[in-house]
Amino acid sequence: MLSRPKPGESEADLLRFQNQFLAARASPAVQIVKKADKRKGNEGSPDAERPPLQDSKDVVMLDGFPDTLPALTPAPPKKSKTKNAGVRFEDEDPEERLESHDRHITAVFSKIIERDTSAAAVTMPVPTGDPFPRTFHRSEIKSEVRSRCSMPTSLTINISPNGDFLTSQCPCLITGEGLGSQKSEQEAQAIHRENLEKLRSMSEEEILQEQARLLAQLDPSLVAFLKSQRGNNEGQKKELKMEQNKPEEFVESLISFIPALEGKTDISFSPHKDDDLPVKPRKEWIHMDNVEFEKLEWMKDLPPPRQKKTKKGMQARFSLKGELIPADADLPTHLGLHHHGEEAERAGYSLQELFHLSRSQVTQQRTLALQVLGRIVQRARAGEFASSLKGSVLRLLLDAGFLFLLRFSLDDAVDNVMAASVGALRALLVSLDDEKYLDWTFSWYQGMAAFPFVPNNEEEEEEEEEELNGTEKSQDKKLKDENKPDPDVARYDVVKGLLKTRIQHRLRYILEVVRPVPTVVLDILHILTHIARHSSEACSQLLDCPRLIETIVREFLPTRWDPKVAEPGILLTSLHGVACSSAMKFIRVLASGGRNATARLLNKFEMKSRLSRFIAEDPLDLLLPREESVRLSTEAFRLWAVAAGYGQACDLYSDLYPVLVRILQSLPELLSACTGKSPVVELSVQRAAAVVTLLTHVTQTAGYTAELNSSEDSEQIPPPPVAWNQVSGLHPFLETSLIKILQEISQAETWQTLQPLTTSCLIFLGVYYSAYSQQPSVNPIDCLEELERLTSEVLQPLLSLPAIDSMWDMLRPCSALCNPLSCSPAPESVVSIASLSCTGGKPPLSLVGSKSPFPFLTALLFLINNITQIHKGLTSKYSSVLGFRGLKDYLHQSWQTGPPSVTPSSAWILRHEYHLQYFVLALAQRMAGTCPDYTQHASLHHCVAMALLSRLLPGSEHLAHEVLLDLAFNPEFLPRKISQWICLFVQWCFGFFLVGSTKC
């Protein structure tokens, strides 16, 4: 008995076992059975039935092969992936393996028939003396269609009044090309003659019956095709007729076969005149044998535009610059404004035509359409179409899907289309004038606070309440927006709808990978800044976008760049690798979204090192254009001020203290340079105001150090890395600068330029003295003496100036409460896009205008309130403030006039005006108990307090608490007779308010 192989035996043992098995001729223990392949049927593999090939090689035997190909239906058998994965031996002949897998040769070759070329004429080229063959003009080449019919030189056409049919020696539809033989033309002629003989043998009734049967059986499209083929041959027959020069009248149109069967032999035809055509076609022109008059109509001169004689509105048309073209404007055609079919005589393109063009397959057309739409949107937001068009252009575009058209175009692979869509999106979302006024109010009292650009969605909330019926009102709003489709979200909030489409990821890709031109980069940064102003949720989504902030910081806030950028007249081809103020502004607005966002920017994205880089160096030494360097330094100080407001980045104060002192020492030089008005001077004043705002927040943070160190809580908050003794030396610099600025108050132009710096200095003094009085290391008597000195030397002389009196008189003309139309929304404003309606600039006599006294007077009242709160003995010194005639007139009209409707623009403006009213009422509350002659103002201040309490907007809850606590129901503001029972009512109302607010 043969033994089985065991583990550990070598290959030699295995070969020995194999030889023993073969020598014994024993039957194997396992029998291999090949199962039939289901894919090939039950007949087995065809390779097994194929006879072995002969030993002779390179011989192909074709005898006995069938003339037809083997059947390959229903499909060739699929090859198994494991069938050929067999063992290959080294001594195997590759040629034998190829022969074993060879298929039938008829799968490649069929019956080969050699073409008979014995009758073909062979022409040899005629030798010439020219080096190249002679060229032929188009006029020397006869029409190819004419030679196909093999028509004789004479063509007989008989049309009788009795309705005889056409007889010709050439078929009109059948040419015989598809027969595939050399005698195809003769066969076509024979078929044609048989048809004519059969028609002649039939009577008219039989022909009509056959005609009805054919028309009932044939497809109408086939009948139309036969007629068109007959019509295409008319031009060829016309030329043949003209060449014969016969005296007969030229027949303009031949009767086709189907109309002839219908018996329509009487034809009335009015030929077109060649004089009507702008270009007269010639016979030698190729493909002009059949004149198409409808197409040549496009080459005629346009009719003059019709005059508007009715009151019916006409479709608006725009130029390539986005300008509205009047309906009766007669513009030349070379401007490219007449390439449209509807109203061809009118110049310009409608919105519908531009939408259609924006989806064209031609790149230039898509780019041009998006550029024109962007210019139209920009002009519409500026209010240029308000008096000319009926309805809103922006609302019409958004309803038509303009937002998602731009979003789809952002995904285009062509750079020009992408750039045009970015520009149009920037025109739709961003208002540069809004950004200008937001930067202007940064140094105002609480002007640094983030203002959310969230639209007023009252309509959306009402619809949701109707749908939910009070059962799901407590559902999270974020989950609702996630479940809604993108168009529904964008209908009420465009920014939120764009964030749902992940626009931040696409913008990151464009900045990082595409690397567009500087204009597109700036537009993208403006769009991101507007999105960051929307809400804290939008800031979080921007921070969470992978590589977005890293790309902006790395590419547009580098620590070093090419010095050639600062050379005058140089044109930047790429903004990547160059410091940009717009990028710093975007980071600053993003930091305003909250304490957490600021911490992430400073720590994760290394913005501290960027702050040190751009603050430590003077703007004159930055290798950038002068204005751009000042803007970059200003935005760096503003970013630091935002971080210092949260108590962060204060550790940089010690490192950059020499830089800050040097800037404060240079303020007198800046004041002397403000005699002339220039953009650089205005930017330098804003930079100085940003520095003072930064020092205000650093001083406020340092004032809390002693309080935090003395805290006995178990979870003690670590004190900030700046102490009071580090900021106490800033006061002399700023007070001296303030005194010099106040000397220029009578110079209107200089005062308007220096007003941001003056406002920030007053706010700094108010914060400084408020923190100074609470320091344990400060002598209280020294603090009171300091306040008395400031009152007697600075503030009282200031209040006695005529310029201050005129400022109080300017409150009423510049007030938004007294002039509700000053904060009305723009003509083209839409609810889904929040805007401050500053496009085109605010008038000088408005709350944020250049002549507005509100920022300076609010800061002055803030300082006076802090002084009287610390030193109550000085309250009577400021009694003249409440006696100004302009202030009393303003307060009297403000509470009697109804407030304007709540819009993003009105909410932003009224927020600053309510601060001034609160400080006036707070000062009046202190004077009520100290000044005996205050009773004459009590009723006015009580009415103002009640009106202010009813008008405060969300975000001013701290003011509502102060007004309720000390002002609205203050007995000093009310007559003595009702003071007893009103106190009980106040206690009940205040308790009810606290309970209600706790439940909310």
Lowest mean pLDDT among 136-140, 175-179, 543-547, 613-617: 136-140
Instruction: Tell me what the mean pLDDT of segment 959-968 comes to.
Output: 82
Statement to judge: residues 731 and 843 lie in one domain = no
User: Of 268, 299, 331, at which residue does a domain stop?
Assistant: 268
Q: Which domain holds residue 579?
A: 483-649
Contact 597, 590 (CB under 8 A): yes
**63 phi and psi, to 5 degrees?**
-70, 130
- What DSSP string runs through 644-701? HHTT-STTHHHHTHHHHHHHHHTHHHHHHGGGS--HHHHHHHHHHHHHHHHHHHHHHH
Same domain, 807 and 929: yes
Tell me: pLDDT of 959 over 90: no
Q: Is 371 found in the same domain as 346?
A: yes
Kindly state the percentage of the chain with pLDDT values over 70: 74
Residue 438 lies in a domain: no
Distance CA(906)–CA(835), nearest Å, equals 10
Q: Please check whether residues 629 and 502 belong to one and the same domain.
A: yes
Mean pLDDT score, 498-510? 95
pLDDT for 560 beyond 80: yes
Query: What's the whole-number mean pLDDT along residues 428-457?
Result: 88
Q: Same domain, yes or no, for 196 and 329? A: no
Sign of CA dihedral 887, 889, 895, 900: negative
Residue 853 in any domain: the answer is yes
The tokens for 798 are: 């200031």
Name the least confident of 246-250, 691-695, 829-833, 871-875.
246-250
Asked whether residue 556 is assigned to any structural domain, the reply reads: yes
Do 765 and 664 belong to one domain? yes
Q: How far is CA 137 from CA 141, 236, 291, 901, in A?
A: 7, 20, 21, 78
pLDDT at 271: 47
Do 726 and 857 lie in a common domain?
no
Is pLDDT of 81 > 90? no
Strands (E), 19-105: none
Phi-psi region of 112 (alpha: psi -120 to 50; beta: other; left: phi over 0): beta
User: DSSP for 284-312?
Assistant: TSTT-SS--HHHHGGGSPPPPPPP--SS-
User: Is 834 within the bounds of a domain?
Assistant: yes
For the ranges 234-238, 249-253, 518-522, the lowest mean pLDDT is seen at 249-253
Q: How many structural domains comprise the chain?
A: 5
First to last CA, the chain: 96
CATH value at residue 523:
1.25.10.10
The upper half-sphere exposure of residue 124, i.e. CA atoms within 13 Å in the direction of its Cβ, equals 3
298 within domain boundaries: no
The answer to the question of residue 766 being in a domain is yes
704-732: average pLDDT: 77
Quick one: average pLDDT of 966-980? 64
Position 208 confidence tier, pLDDT thresholds 50, 70, 90: confident
Q: Are 558 and 578 in contact (CB under 8 A)?
A: yes
Whether residues 621 and 658 share a domain: the answer is: no
Rounded Cα gap, residues 675 and 85, in angstroms: 93
Tell me what the mean pLDDT of segment 728-754 comes to.
90
Continuous H helices in 88-139 = 94-100
Per-residue pLDDT band at 240 (split at 50, 70, 90): very low
The whole-number pLDDT of residue 164 equals 43
In this prediction, residues 867-877 reach a mean pLDDT of: 91
Number of Cβ atoms within 10 Å of the Cβ of 634 = 27
How is residue 758 written in tokens? 């003056």
The kind and range of the H/E element at 318 are: strand 317-318
Sorted by sequence, the CB contacts under 8 Å of residue 338 that are 6+ apart come out as: 302, 344, 347
Residue 595 shares a structural domain with residue 530: yes
Q: How far apart are CA 418 and CA 485, in angstroms?
A: 25
Structure confidence at residue 531 as a pLDDT band (50, 70, 90): very high
Q: 538 and 500, same structural domain? A: yes
pLDDT of 142 reads: 47
Residue 9: the pLDDT is: 82
Q: Is residue 998's pLDDT more than 90? A: no
Alpha-carbon distance values, 441 to 201, 477, 847 (Å):
102, 32, 11
Mean per-residue pLDDT of the chain: 79
- 552/171: higher pLDDT: 552
3-state secondary structure of 324: strand
DSSP lists the bridge partners of residue 349 as 318
Residues 757 and 818 in one domain: no
Q: How far is Cα 172 from Cα 233, in angstroms, rounded to an integer?
A: 7
Q: Is the pLDDT confidence value at 20 over 50?
A: yes
Which pTM was predicted? 0.70
Q: Is the pLDDT of residue 889 over 80?
A: yes
444 part of a folded domain: no
Lowest mean pLDDT across 107-121, 151-165, 554-568, 741-755: 151-165
Owner of token pair 């109804």: 898
Q: 702: burial class by Cβ within 10 Å (0-12, 13-18, 19+)?
A: buried
Residue 846 CB-half CA count within 13 A: 18
pLDDT of residue 517: 94
Mean pLDDT of 845-865: 93
> Which of 227, 242, 268 delimits the end of a domain?
268
Single-letter code of the amino acid located at 242: M
- On whether the CB atoms of residues 815 and 847 are closer than 8 A, the answer is yes
Q: Are both 636 and 672 inside the same structural domain?
A: no
Categorize the per-residue pLDDT at 267 as very low, low, confident or very high, splitting at 50, 70 and 90. very low
| Domain-located, residue 47 | no
Half-sphere exposure of 380 (CA within 13 A, CB side): 28
